[in-house]
Structure 1
Amino acid sequence: MKPTLKISETVINRLTSVREPCLGNLFGVFYNKTQYIIGLCLHFDDENSQIVQHFPTEVELCGIFELKDTIENVIITDNPLYLKVTIGAISDVQASFIVNNKLEAATIDILTEEYLYSQFLHIRLKAQLPLICNPAEDNIKDALQELRQHFEGKVAFQCQKEHVFLLENGINGISSDSTVGDLCKQQLMGNDAFNKNNTTLDVLQVDMFKKVSQEVITEPKKNHAPILCVDKKKYESLVMVLNLDALSLIHRNLPLKNVYEILVSSLYRNIVIIKRTILKHFQQSGGDHSKISYPEIFHFYPQECGHFVTRVYSKNESECSLGTKNMILNWNKVRHFVTRVYSKNESECSLERDRKNLHSRLLLSPTHPIFRRVNKYLFKGEHHNNSPLINPHEGVKPTTNGGDIGIARGIYKYYHYNQDKMEDNGWGCAYRSLQTLASWFHLQGNGLDLPNSGEEVAAKGPELLNHFQMHGSPIMIGGGVLAHTILGVDYNRQTGSIKFLILDPHYVGNENLQVIQNKGWVGWKGPEFWDKTAYYNMCLPQVPRCV
């Protein structure tokens, strides 16, 4: 019996936007006779087994896709799912399951991001493991491989904020019949629905505990005198503390008792990508272990993908060489977590080729950086309590103008009156708006260009819409009257009507998202919002095309 097939709309959008023939892999999660397709990657024989290590655990290779100019010449593969897309035909996406070397047509259900994460949630597991070994390449490989022995039956997992322990042979602190969704409700109960991230993703935080006691041995032991062996010679060793940070994508109805093995597998994946990074830098250093930098794990959630991607980067590389200038974050197109491990000494310039390759393989735009350190996903609790809110416009009531909508891409911080213990009520709106724009560039890694200017704000609908679609940066507006930040426009080309998504820096109060949204400090405004008797200057930051 064929399973039900649900494909993420972000996968469909990326496939139908390609204009060249190509072949690639499909990735997803199988649960309860349903195959969920949430990711893809162009096909490269030498890297097919590696890319899945950068996705959350439980996301696996489950099929292939092929883009062609015609619908002929269907190929047969060893993967159970085959997706065929005709180039230039937006609605021509055909799915088949491969059964006994024959294609059986399948019906596609489009999977929205909201539905996907109403069914699934993420578990984030953080742990530390020591790495001590001889500084030779083979010894490093063996030591990293032996780290797996730290997990097999020797660890337990505790859900943060709850006295719930997941053990190899059971669970403690909650009913044995409980599901992952039950634990999520219990852990998130009482949390403010409006948080700094304003994210809809539920992420359970889990810690790892190592077993320190020995197994009870029933057989009698033979006592003998202690034996000590001393090898007198000069000895060097590589000593590191590896900070593991692993993600898993798990259905909410999965019994908790089945989660233990998944968490162990997520640690295995983490070690694999860390091992790859350490060995790469060991080889680049010419075998000098003193030049090996601590690897850092980064999780990215590009909206265009629809799932997390994990990467490992080197820690001590200067951000100057990382090319943090001229960077754009295209959050409107990537919708899954991407995790990267970066060596601490690795520059963004040296990583540019790697990023370009990843953009190409995931069918992402080459004009918007999404895998730099500054692009990492901010989990709940990673903000300071009194830090400015991020993206407070997310969740406002939608506009009813019925036109084409352009919204600022990326993330920004909301600056307004009386922040940072500075009394600027009545005079600080302009620089607060400038702070908001500067925060957008900082969080995207861009440098500011000279602004454009214009008058008659309501008549600038086409230009403003084009700006948000092309550049995606917030617009600062002010001059003869109070200053504001424009986060988006809804311009109806048929009627000429326009509405503006306005962020007001004149708000005085605590960082309360619900008050800010309900009281209109961020929201859609009509042309009457602007003073027709005053002049306005607009700063429309232009951003370069790069990765």
Structure 2
Amino acid sequence: MDQIFVLKSVKQSLERVLVGTTEPSVGFLLGQEHRDGIQIVGCCRCTKPLIDEIEEVSLYYPGGIKVYGIFYSSATPPGGENVNKACSKLLHQDLVDKIDSESILLCHSKMNTERVSTDSFYWYSIEERTPKLAEVEWRDEPKETITLRLQANIPLAFEYMLSNRAFEDFVSQFLELQDKIRSDVTAFHIDDTNILLYDKPPKESSIIAITDDTACEKLYDYIQTEDDENTSKKHRNKSVIKVSLLTAVTGYQAVGRTIDCSPIIHHEHSDFENISSDLPLDVLVCVDPNMPVGNLAKLFVGSVCHQLVAMEKCLFHFHKEDKEFLVPQPHHFKPAGLDHFITTLYPQGLSEKRLEPVRRTLNQKFSLSLDVPLFRRMNAYNFPEDNDTAGYLHNVHVGLPPSGVKEGTQYLVQGRYSYHHYMQDRFDDNHWGCAYRSLQTVVSWFRLQGYTDQPVPTHRAIQQALVDIKDKEASFVGSRKWIGSMEVSYVLDRLLEVQCKIMFVQSGADLANKGRELAMHFSIQGTPIMIGGGVLAHTILGVDFNDITGDLKFLILDPHYTGAEDLKIIQDKGWCGWKDTSFWDKNAYYNLCLPQRPKMI
């Protein structure tokens, strides 16, 4: 039997589902084949019969990840005889056929136990109908994988009949698209190379340029881009490999798929609509670097067909509710605590509020918190090629040297933010707009974590919000007047419905005593802190704190920077960096605005 590596993140997810419960739970174990064994990268809870959910599960995961087993809890403790009894109930032949493996991995936990151990895992032989304790090793970090991403627009056109045959053409068009993807007219082009991959190789191959047994990690050696001279090989080997979908329109393959009979005209009187649109495919495949390139095309065929099935389901489901066809848009997510991508489809134009039941189901399925947004559109994974940052730098603290606090613990902002500072957006706010810019950074955090889809407010919008709540006179709009921490809290409440706590210190020296409180804020809330008062405003992104000695440093983002978006200058010149307690003015008071996360999904 293969060696099994189970990620610690999977162990934690299993324990959230299995440990301490008094009700039976069941779901799938998903993994990835590597040269030295199988890595279990995720688990997915099931609320319906397993045979009904196994197809659905495959729609969420990248190609290269598949179901390797089942986890379940019961009133009986783990053991060979109990595993046998459970398998006779769980492993119906239809399910075994879908898993398509000689042995199935099982994780059996007794209800209301304290933990999941390596002794909880068994290999169950389908042929011998016997369980055997699996050789399992916990892993802190996932093994290295290569991610390939295919994006394409596929035209879809069908007749929607306004009768009891409404979806006949709809269904047949999706079946035809899948048939086309599986045929020999389809090829996959590795972008910026001369490599074509076929699931069904043509008789006359023109530009394949690589052998089937070549390791996937060698693909990077064939990629040539305009910025190769400025990009290290190590960096390129960590990037996502882009893939294009090609369809032959000439040659024997294309001719073989044409109609070989005379045209037939079918005339029918009925009411119908012509629907046409482009389906925006966005497919991921994640593989072991040592996997042969020859296996990739089959994975892409399966993954593209899975996404087409998901699109068909999405179109059909939301048409029943909205009576219109909304184009399904794929979104990839990688929530904190999970070591794999999850892909789901949302209809374009549908509000986040309407999608809340879908998100709730996802959070429950993957054993995630039900009061944090994890699957909103703004939570989608940020691929470098998608980096639509509108010119703003994100997370400029990443890559800074250590703070210098001996045996300290860092408590940092959780998630992503954009850096807003003086003179951005072609707007001159030098000497007066620092608190506005700090507020913009805070709002960007709430946007990028999915708490709001409101845009980052301009100075004028901030001023108007304060006028609207009657904190300022109408003449304040368009002025160059300062705002402080209290005004920042008012605007967050007005525009985002975000509540804030205000921490007051009489002197900058008193901030040296606030390490524990600030550490707790970043641990629980994780939001950037705006600090102002009698002096200039800044943003606190974290603290490094030794709770024994009291040593403390602050991670400061300075909105007074007036230069270009140059990360090296920003870090080297201290516009974002660690500051000790002497950074704060001992002769000035400070108000700290600590935004609180709303509970939402």
TM-score, with length taken from structure 1: 0.83
Deviations 1:216-252 (A, max 9, x none): 7999xxx99x656362645533322211111111122
Equivalent position of 1:47 in the other structure: 53
Equivalent position of 1:433 in the other structure: 438
Which has the higher Rg, Structure 1 or Structure 2? Answer: 2
User: Contact conserved, 1:450 with 1:541, CA < 8 A, in 2?
Assistant: yes
**Matched residue SS, 1:37:** strand
Q: Which amino acid aligns with 1:43?
A: C
User: Contact conserved, 2:148 with 2:243, CA < 8 A, in 1?
Assistant: yes
**Matched residue SS, 1:97:** strand
Cα distance, 1:199–1:404 mapped onto 2, change above 3 Å: farther
User: Contact conserved, 2:26 with 2:45, CA < 8 A, in 1?
Assistant: yes
Alignment of 1:39-438 (within 5 A): 39-44=42-47, 45=49, 46-67=52-73, 71-72=77-78, 74-76=82-84, 77=87, 78=91, 80-84=104-108, 89=114, 92-94=117-119, 95-99=121-125, 100-113=128-141, 115-116=142-143, 119-135=144-160, 136-151=166-181, 152-167=183-198, 168-169=200-201, 172=207, 174-176=209-211, 178-184=214-220, 186-187=222-223, 190=227, 202-215=239-252, 229=265, 231=267, 233=269, 236-285=273-322, 288=323, 291-317=324-350, 347-384=351-388, 387-399=391-403, 400-438=405-443
**Matched residue SS, 1:413:** coil
Cα distance, 1:418–1:352 mapped onto 2, change above 3 Å: same
Q: Which amino acid aligns with 2:191?
A: Q
Corresponding position: 1:527 with 2:581 = yes
Cα distance, 1:233–1:60 mapped onto 2, change above 3 Å: same
Distance in 1, Cα, partners of 2:210 & 2:295: 13
- CA displacement at 1:15 relative to structure 2: 2.7
- CA displacement at 1:201 relative to structure 2: 5.9
Q: Which amino acid aligns with 1:144?
A: F
Distance in 2, Cα, partners of 1:218 & 1:440: 54
Distance in 2, Cα, partners of 1:463 & 1:208: 53
User: Contact conserved, 2:147 with 2:287, CA < 8 A, in 1?
Assistant: yes
Deviations 1:288-309 (A, max 9, x none): 5xx1211111111112221111
Equivalent position of 2:20 in the other structure: 19
User: Contact conserved, 2:333 with 2:379, CA < 8 A, in 1?
Assistant: yes
Cα distance, 1:69–1:512 mapped onto 2, change above 3 Å: farther
Q: Which amino acid aligns with 1:437?
A: V
Q: Which amino acid aligns with 1:434?
A: L
**Matched residue SS, 2:106:** strand
Cα distance, 1:193–1:541 mapped onto 2, change above 3 Å: farther
**Matched residue SS, 2:44:** strand
Cα distance, 1:15–1:514 mapped onto 2, change above 3 Å: farther
Distance in 2, Cα, partners of 1:139 & 1:442: 40
Identical aligned pairs, as a percentage?
32
Alignment of 1:480-495 (within 5 A): 480-495=534-549
**Matched residue SS, 2:242:** strand
With 452-461 and 270-279 compared, the bigger mean Cα shift is at: 452-461
Equivalent position of 2:7 in the other structure: 8
User: Contact conserved, 1:27 with 1:37, CA < 8 A, in 2?
Assistant: yes
Equivalent position of 1:38 in the other structure: 41
Distance in 1, Cα, partners of 2:268 & 2:406: 81
- CA displacement at 1:415 relative to structure 2: 1.4
TM-score, with length taken from structure 2: 0.76
Distance in 1, Cα, partners of 2:512 & 2:53: 51
Cα distance, 1:75–1:498 mapped onto 2, change above 3 Å: farther
Distance in 2, Cα, partners of 1:429 & 1:188: 43
Q: Which amino acid aligns with 1:262?
A: L
- CA displacement at 1:365 relative to structure 2: 1.0
Distance in 1, Cα, partners of 2:224 & 2:40: 27
Distance in 2, Cα, partners of 1:438 & 1:49: 39
User: Contact conserved, 1:171 with 1:257, CA < 8 A, in 2?
Assistant: no
User: Which blocks of at least 5 consecutive residues in structure 2 are unaligned?
Assistant: 92-102, 161-165, 453-495
Cα distance, 1:514–1:259 mapped onto 2, change above 3 Å: farther
Q: Which amino acid aligns with 1:360?
A: Q
- CA displacement at 1:520 relative to structure 2: 3.5
User: Which blocks of at least 5 consecutive residues in structure 1 are unaligned?
Assistant: 318-346
Q: Which amino acid aligns with 1:123?
A: L
Q: Which amino acid aligns with 1:12?
A: K
CA RMSD across the alignment: 3.2
- CA displacement at 1:372 relative to structure 2: 0.9
Alignment match of 2:592 (pick from 524, 538, 542):
538
